[in-house]
Amino acid sequence: MASGRVFVVFLLPVIFSVVFGSVVMADILDKPGRELNMWPMSHSGSSSSHGSSLEIIGLSKQYSTSDPVEIQIKVNDSSFECGDLYVTIYSAGKGDVIAQGGFFEQCFLKANQVLPVGDKFSKAIDNPGNYEIVADMVSKELKNISTSGTFSVK
């Protein structure tokens, strides 16, 4: 008798909640234009809500294996003042991550100060090939702006 009450009081509400939540989520995702993006900062799924508001400064079209890739980022969106900067280098065509850098709480002046503030992104790539570099800036309000460029290593 006690195990029946435990089932009704504790387990039955959990089962109903999961079933009801699944039905609601399926109905929402069935509507046109809806998608579930669990990781909004991923390289393939997200896009900038402000267009091309970032600019990569200092990116050459070609590097040698002994030269590091050194870049800075300029923010062209005056409404975007602070955020976390993520710079990732991918192997072009394959999508494999080659190098990453994260610069947190990058608050800068509206006087076109370059990022990262008080630091620099510098990575050496040993293997010849074609690469894509992606810079993402995410604000505390989770607004995302990004830009990318390509280069080769010989």
Instruction: Determine which helix (DSSP H) or strand (DSSP E) holds 132, and give its type and residue range.
Output: strand 129-138
Q: What is the pLDDT of residues 117-147, one digit of tens each?
A: 778 888 999 999 999 999 998 887 888 888 9
Q: How confident is the model at residue 69 (pLDDT cuts 50, 70, 90)?
A: very high
Q: What is the pLDDT of residues 53-62, one digit of tens each?
A: 888 999 999 9
Q: What are phi and psi of 5, to 5 degrees?
A: -70, -40
Mark whether 94 and 138 lie in a shared domain: yes
Range of the domain at 22: 1-36
Mark whether 30 and 60 lie in a shared domain: no
DSSP string, 61-91: SEE-TTSEEEEEEEE--TT--EEEEEEEEEE
* pLDDT at 43 exceeding the cut of 50: no
Q: What confidence score (pLDDT) does residue 118 get?
A: 75
Domain count, the chain: 2
Q: How confident is the model at residue 114 (pLDDT cuts 50, 70, 90)?
A: confident
Which among 76-85, 87-96, 102-111 has the top mean pLDDT? Answer: 87-96
DSSP at 7: I
Cα separation values, 39 from 42, 45, 83, 142, Å: 6, 8, 17, 12
